[in-house]
């Protein structure tokens, strides 16, 4: 089959972009051809079809979002809805051209019919899928009702008919059991669960001449514990718990955040810095040193995120909400011990499988601090823990699991 991915962004290290790369890899080895279309393209998708208005950060899209959501949302959404539909009309021709010029048999819409970061795109795709009758997989990562920022809005009718759309040619994919149940209860839509996955069959890349100096690049001292927070700086990541844990360890340690701040404003990052300063925690944001792939800029190294994991003594993942948990799977793959907050999907879909993590329940308790000390002081025990986690993840969250599930979905079209 000729299969096209459509998203707002296919670039960088956000969860959607990373998961699309895995899906594409599996589809290619199954013998299919894949094509990409988004408002930002990079890495594996760099040669795809670029339509700037598809990006959620496009100035015209942001302007509509600001009027649609939050305390300042327009009270009368009818005029706003008309403008959203007009903007959707402008996207229809280039999206139709992407589908027809590549003679696509099926499209996979990645989160663009799920979370309303680009309102006209969701409307456009709904109309275009209905118009063309093209078989579609709607891969849902984050529904709008799961995010506080979208709950106050002026366009609920539009949201309830578009995010996601209920059409006979769409097969819906959710990434966890909670989302599956809520989609059915809220919209009467059935879905298939395909969790986030990782290529556990491929050995982790070894240290080499490029990444061997990663600790030195961070100016980490030999006796400092390297605590890695491999996420963006947004409030639901619960990074304040990682700061408190680092403080309570009372040993030389550095908390390093790899991904950028700013996706949801900088207020949270400024607050985290104040908290870290008051607790005496060495907190570093190194998004300028870490990207989705290795490169050199003006003679300076930019490392891939995969270069950070092998050096980490501990990974913190204290999120209060996640659709699933890409960074959690990455930490397991690189056989790093993990501190995880018991967010809802972890409790429902991951914890029951028997993984061994240091668990938080919304705050840092003395037992968690003691467990982390034991891990840092007893490498043999830490190795046993990470090997157990690796084996479980390979069984439940591998590319082989994804290939089997995708095969079943495609066979139904």
- Two structure tokens written together for 190: 């059935």
Contact 38, 9 (CB under 8 A): yes
Q: At what angle do helices 59-68 and 77-101 cross, to 10 degrees?
A: 140
Torsion of CA 141, 147, 150, 155, to 10 degrees: 60
Contact 266, 238 (CB under 8 A): no
Contact 39, 14 (CB under 8 A): no
pLDDT of 309: 96
Contact 186, 397 (CB under 8 A): no
Give the residue from 340, 331, 336 showing the smallest Cα distance to 382. 336
Write the CB contacts of 365 (distance below 8 Å, at least 6 apart in sequence). Answer: none
Going along the chain from its start, the domains and CATH numbers come out as 2-197+399-411 (3.40.50.2000), 214-396 (3.40.50.2000)
Helix (H, G, I), strand (E, B) or coil at 295: strand
pLDDT of 298: 86
Beta bridge partners of 50: 38
- Two structure tokens written together for 136: 């579609």
pLDDT of 33: 98
Strand pairing report for 225-229 and 192-193: unpaired
Contact 138, 168 (CB under 8 A): no
Helix (H, G, I), strand (E, B) or coil at 170: strand
The DSSP H or E segment spanning 301 is strand 300-304
* Residue with token string 């907190």: 283
pLDDT of 22: 95
The DSSP call for residue 27 is H
The DSSP H or E segment spanning 396 is helix 379-396
Strand pairing report for 225-229 and 253-257: parallel
C-alpha pair distances (Å), 81 with each of 51, 54, 122, 127, 157:
22, 18, 12, 15, 10
Per DSSP, helices labelled H in 250-365 are 267-279, 326-333, 344-345
Predicted confidence pLDDT, tens digits, the chain (413 residues): 999 999 999 997 788 998 999 999 999 999 999 999 999 999 899 999 999 999 999 999 999 999 999 877 887 788 899 999 999 999 999 999 999 999 999 999 999 999 999 999 999 999 999 999 999 999 999 999 988 889 889 899 999 999 999 999 999 999 999 999 999 999 999 999 999 999 999 998 889 999 999 999 999 999 999 999 999 999 999 999 999 999 999 999 999 999 888 777 789 999 999 999 999 999 999 998 998 788 898 888 999 989 999 999 999 999 999 989 889 999 999 999 999 999 999 999 999 999 999 999 999 999 999 999 999 999 999 999 999 999 999 999 999 999 999 999 999 98
pLDDT of 266: 87
d(CA 53, CA 243): 38
- Two structure tokens written together for 13: 């290290």
Q: How many residues does the chain have?
A: 413
Q: What is the pTM of this model?
A: 0.88
d(CA 6, CA 99): 10
Task: Tell me how far the alpha carbon of residue 164 is from its chain's centroid.
Answer: 18
d(CA 221, CA 225): 9
d(CA 317, CA 286): 17
pLDDT of 148: 83
In this structure, how many other beta carbons lie within 10 angstroms of the beta carbon of residue 31?
A: 7
pLDDT of 363: 96
pLDDT of 75: 78
pLDDT of 34: 98
pLDDT of 191: 97
pLDDT of 38: 98
pLDDT of 107: 98
Determine if the peptide bond prior to 84 is cis (ω within 30°): no
């Amino acid at each position: 089959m000729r299969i096209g991915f459509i998203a707002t962004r296919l670039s960088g290290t956000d969860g959607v972009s990373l998961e699309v790369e895995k899906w594409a890899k599996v589809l290619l080895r199954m013998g299919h051809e894949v094509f990409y279309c988004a408002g930002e393209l990079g890495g594996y998708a760099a040669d795809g079809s670029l339509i700037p208005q598809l990006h959620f950060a496009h100035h015209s899209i942001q302007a509509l979002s600001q009027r649609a959501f939050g305390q300042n949302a327009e009270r009368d959404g009818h005029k706003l809805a008309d403008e959203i539909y007009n903007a959707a009309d402008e996207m229809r021709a280039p999206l139709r051209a992407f589908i027809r010029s590549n003679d696509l048999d099926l499209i996979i819409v990645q989160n663009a019919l799920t979370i309303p970061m680009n309102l006209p795109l969701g409307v456009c795709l709904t109309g275009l899928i209905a118009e063309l009758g093209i078989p579609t997989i709607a891969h849902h990562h984050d529904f709008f009702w799961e995010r506080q920022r979208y709950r106050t809005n002026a366009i609920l009718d539009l949201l309830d008919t578009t995010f996601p759309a209920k059409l006979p040619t769409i097969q819906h994919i959710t990434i966890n059991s909670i989302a599956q149940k809520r989609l059915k209860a809220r919209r009467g839509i059935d879905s298939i669960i395909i969790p986030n996955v990782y290529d556990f069959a491929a050995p982790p890349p070894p240290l080499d001449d490029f990444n061997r100096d990663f600790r030195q690049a961070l100016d980490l001292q030999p006796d400092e514990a390297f605590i890695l927070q491999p996420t963006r700086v947004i409030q639901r990541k619960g990074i304040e718990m990682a700061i408190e844990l680092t403080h309570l360890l009372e040993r030389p340690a550095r908390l390093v955040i790899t991904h950028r701040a700013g996706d949801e404003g900088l207020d949270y990052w400024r607050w985290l810095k104040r908290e870290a300063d008051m607790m005496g925690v060495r907190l570093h944001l190194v998004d300028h040193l870490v990207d989705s792939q290795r490169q050199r800029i003006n003679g300076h190294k930019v490392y891939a995120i995969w270069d950070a994991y092998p050096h980490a003594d501990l990974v913190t993942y204290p999120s209060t909400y996640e659709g699933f948990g890409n960074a959690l799977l990455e930490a397991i793959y690189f056989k790093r011990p993990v501190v995880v907050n018991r967010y809802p999907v972890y409790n429902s879909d991951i914890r029951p499988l028997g993984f061994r993590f240091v668990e938080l329940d919304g705050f840092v308790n003395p037992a968690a601090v003691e467990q982390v000390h034991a891990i840092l002081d007893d490498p043999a025990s830490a190795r046993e823990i990470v090997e157990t986690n690796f084996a479980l993840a390979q069984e439940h969250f591998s590319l082989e699991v994804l290939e089997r599930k995708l095969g079943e979905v495609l066979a139904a079209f």
